[in-house]
Amino acid sequence: MSTHRPAPVPPLGSAVLSQRSSGVLLHLTSLPGPHGSGDLGAAAYQFVDWLVSAGQSCWQILPLSPVGPGYSPYHSPSTFAGNPLLVDLEELQHCGWLPPEPAPDFAPDFAAGVCDFERVAPYRLQRLHQAWQGFVQVASAADRQALDFFRTSQAHWLEGYALFMALEARHGQPWTQWPAPLRQGDLAALAEAGQQCQDALAFYSFIQWRFMLQWARLHAYAQARGVALLGDAPIFVAHHSADVWQNPELFCLDAQGEPTCVAGVPPDHYSASGQRWGNPLYRWDVMAQDGFAWWRARLAHLMKQVNVLRLDHFRGFESYWSIPAHQPTAEHGHWCAGPGLALFEALADEAHQSGRSDAWPLVAEDLGYITPAVTTLRQQLGMAGMRVMQFAFGDSAHNPYLPHNFEAHTVAYTGTHDNDTSVGWWQQLPEPQRARVRAYLGPQVDAEIHWALMQSLSQSVATLVVLPLQDVLGLDGAHRMNVPGQAEGCWRWRFDWPQLRADATLRLREMTRAHGRNLSMLD
């Protein structure tokens, strides 16, 4: 690491979010397609084309990493790997490695409009295994060399991830319950395990190779059409993950590898007991000793995949809620100081060393209870914050989520993936708050609450407006993506092409143009 650190560079430089623009929030699994969930196939390219036709220049997605419990992309076994469920199976067929049709008894008739992950996940994994066997049998020398090169160039994260997945498949338990030599990272035991599961290591590497290639093609396609990709980086990682297993010294763990304290947020008006997320907390003091090398590598990896990156739970970098691991709720936690400016100086240094003239373009997810210290840190770093209009109508005209109170360096939303749809929100809203909404937006909101909210955001000074596709389509709460704290039944919504009506597309394009948001973020 360089001994000289430049002064912190504003992570949102002149190249990104420098002019008024507009985009849509839609995760890749929500795309249509024949294999039970959206992926990196033809529908993703078609959606980019639709964004262009609707005058949009940003596509916001959720984390690309493999899903964890409840199929959540925010509880992943790796912060570096790509989600195997997103691999385009048809591309593997075109390569000649995957039979065109699965066996008749293993070809589920997946319903449109929902990701039935309990059926989709095993089906897709089976097809990926078939593709790997096809690759082993018929791949060309050039393809084998390409895979070998990928494994070598990405070894800094890929080797550990592939071994973690192979051992998970073998033992079927959390890593803290594996045999002690494997749990504790004994080099001889790991080498022996690697020899015993070479095919599995190659299989998991093969999946990541295809994912990264497919994603790079989609990213290039979007950029060529003026569409920027806005990604998402969860602040915390899952305990059962390659990240924690490989780097236990960076996390608050006991001698057996179990967390001593976990992440969450304290009680508030949303929850009397707070939220206990359960992720192990970082040992920021240890991370600082090598200049936050793990974070530098993580952000460098993610910034190769997207144009802009949303940092989830930004307030945790200033101070975070630490809950003793034995406590069942978040009530008995306490605040601890986060890494603050030092982490972002290291990240700016990494971006500088990688040859960028500006630093990584980052957006701060600064929702919830935000102290003046959090706001000061964000402003020191030049990051745009977030505003969600569904939060705007609880008190007075000074509410920071009301559009007339926005600052220009803002990414504004009707709602996020964690909120109800605008129509669903309106249907559940108490009448006193409805009256405040009507007073602000006008009495016509009862007929089209979603368009009234989107219109108000689009007219605001916020540099970027991001609209969930469910709101563009006017869908109710049955189409909600996630309910925070609900472990099952989330992340399943999908749309179908007939829902993208021509009148809604035209209306979105005309609104975007009328409010001066029709230029690409990438211009």
Rounded to whole angstroms, the Cα distance separating 91 from 114 reads 23
Residues 6 or more apart whose CB falls under 8 angstroms from that of 22 comprise 55, 56, 57, 58, 458, 464, 465, 466, 467, 512, 515, 517, 518
Q: Chain centroid to CA 4: how far?
A: 32
Residues 6 or more apart whose CB falls under 8 angstroms from that of 338 comprise 284, 316, 317, 318, 319, 320
Q: In the structure encoding, which two tokens stand for residue 310, read together?
A: 């949303």
Q: Dihedral of CA 324/326/327/332: which sign?
A: negative
Q: Exactly one of 90, 418, 448, 476 is catalytic; name it.
A: 418
Q: What is the CA radius of gyration of the chain?
A: 23
> Which of 236, 219, 235, 230 lies closest to 411, judged by CA?
230
E strand spans, 248-314: 261-265, 275-280, 308-311
Q: In the structure encoding, which two tokens stand for residue 300, read together?
A: 């460098």
Rounded to whole angstroms, the Cα distance separating 338 from 319 reads 4
Amino acid at 42: A
Q: Using CB atoms within 10 A of its CB, is residue 102 exposed (0-12), middle (13-18) or buried (19+)?
A: middle
DSSP states of 123-181 as a string? HHHHHHHHHHHHHHHH--HHHHHHHHHHHHHTHHHHHHHHHHHHHHHHH-S-GGGS-HH
∠ CA(405), CA(409), CA(411), 5° rounding? 80
Q: Exactly one of 312, 331, 448, 476 is catalytic; name it.
A: 312
Q: Sheet containing 334-337: which strands, arranged edge to edge?
A: 275-280, 261-265, 319-324, 334-337
Respond yes or no: is residue 365 known to be catalytic: yes
Amino acid at 325: A
Residues 376 and 341: beta-carbon distance below 8 Å: no
Respond yes or no: is residue 318 known to be catalytic: no
Respond yes or no: is residue 418 known to be catalytic: yes
∠ CA(368), CA(374), CA(378), 5° rounding? 110
Q: Sheet containing 464-468: which strands, arranged edge to edge?
A: 362-364, 308-311, 228-233, 58-60, 21-25, 464-468, 410-413, 385-388
Q: Exactly one of 88, 243, 350, 365 is catalytic; name it.
A: 365
Q: Dihedral of CA 404/409/413/419: which sign?
A: negative
Residues catalogued as catalytic: 312, 365, 418
